[in-house]
Amino acid sequence: MNKESFLVFSGTKTRYLAEKICKDLDCPLGNLDITYFADGEFVVSFEESIRGRDVFLVQSTFPNSDNLMELLLMIDAAKRASAKSINAVIPYFGWARQDRKDKPRVSIGAKLIADMLSAAGIDRLITMDLHADQEQGFFDVPVDHLYASTVVLPYIQSLNLKNLCIASPDVGGSKRASAYAKYLDCPMVLCNKTRKRANVVGDMQIIGEVKDMDIILIDDMVDTAGTITKAASLMIENGARSVRAIASHCIMSNPADERIEASPIEEMLFTDSIPYHGNCKKVKQISVSKMFAETIRRVMDNESISSQYLI
């Protein structure tokens, strides 16, 4: 890989991860300036030449929407500065829960954001654990869809749990949980839930046997933690010996910290696709920087990335 042929830049809120990625790539983080006006409007400018270079723009689009707007302006600035290719590296792709019309007269936010990124000028998307795999089809450019399982599965194996059982807190996550259980050669259970409204869980039932099992709940994200803490409590009520939880994206909106702290969950593990600024002692993060760095290296060397996938 020729380190002179590409540059890595970061938006404001994902700089912590971009710095790790650059360290793993043994390259400097590009110089980007964001200037703010008094009313909150901002302008993005590259402070070094990117003409003819492959640029990788690292920015998750977690709330607030300034993160997405920063990314769009970075893409536009790179296009107007004659970058050879523009690669959006979005560890957490926001609005991904809006992947279909689940009731009349609603937007499909994930498709809208995909269209905005394409219109801005990206040539490739590198992301991780989309809410639904089929969202890759919302893009008309190549999508390298990475999986947190690459770093999560070795961690689970390191726990050496005696009676391991993988669980999904909802039926929608059954495919992910099944893949984990098959790889780890252990049983799987599901939780069937109904929602009263967004972020509010109604009823929940367990499908499967959890008595005397060491449960690991697997999900793609934790927002208010209502679903995952309710599932954990239900597992303990039905005789589980211990419950841990793992999710790719650490959204953790209020009152998630309080819910997890008060729940029977022994440990709540996330990747660092989103920074965690809370104070829950049960929360732990593991980094995906090496995975993204290796993907960037393989893109630049025109190598397959499929060997990175454990499942």
Q: What phi, psi does 195 have (nearest 5°)?
A: -110, 135
Q: Are residues 250 and 230 in the same domain?
A: yes
Predicted pLDDT of residue 63: 81
Predicted pLDDT of residue 244: 98
Q: pLDDT tens for residues 29-63?
A: 999 999 999 999 999 999 999 999 999 999 999 88
Question: Cα-atom radius of gyration of the chain, to the nearest Å?
Answer: 20
**Cis, peptide link before residue 238, omega less than 30° from 0:** no
Predicted pLDDT of residue 308: 85
Q: Are residues 140 and 159 in the same domain?
A: no
Query: Which two three-digit tokens encode residue 3?
Result: 């380190």
User: Domain ends where: 112, 146, 180?
Assistant: 146
Predicted pLDDT of residue 4: 82
Query: Which two three-digit tokens encode residue 255?
Result: 């009152």
Q: Are residues 156 and 244 in the same domain?
A: yes
Q: Are residues 207 and 248 in the same domain?
A: yes
Residue with tokens 């980094």: 287
Predicted pLDDT of residue 199: 54
Q: Are residues 168 and 276 in the same domain?
A: yes
List the catalytic residues.
193
Predicted pLDDT of residue 198: 61
> Is 293 inside a domain boundary?
no
Predicted pLDDT of residue 1: 76
Closest CA to 249 of 280, 276, 220: 220
How many distinct structural domains can be found in the chain? 2
In the three-class reduction of DSSP (H, G, I as helix; E, B as strand; rest coil), residue 136 is classed as helix
Q: Are residues 269 and 213 in the same domain?
A: yes
Q: pLDDT tens for residues 107-144?
A: 999 999 999 999 999 999 999 999 988 999 999 999 99
Cα–Cα distance measured from residue 80 to residue 84, given in angstroms and rounded to the nearest whole number: 11
Q: Are residues 155 and 249 in the same domain?
A: yes
Residues (pLDDT < 50) of the chain are: none
Predicted pLDDT of residue 141: 97
> Is 309 inside a domain boundary?
no
Asked whether 149 and 157 are in contact (CB, 8 A), the reply is no
User: Domain ends where: 146, 173, 206?
Assistant: 146
The CATH number of residue 256's host domain is 3.40.50.2020
> Is 261 inside a domain boundary?
yes
Query: Which two three-digit tokens encode residue 33?
Result: 């300036």
Q: Are residues 156 and 130 in the same domain?
A: no
Q: What phi, psi does 278 have (nearest 5°)?
A: -85, -170
Predicted pLDDT of residue 122: 98
Residue 82 belongs to what domain range?
6-146
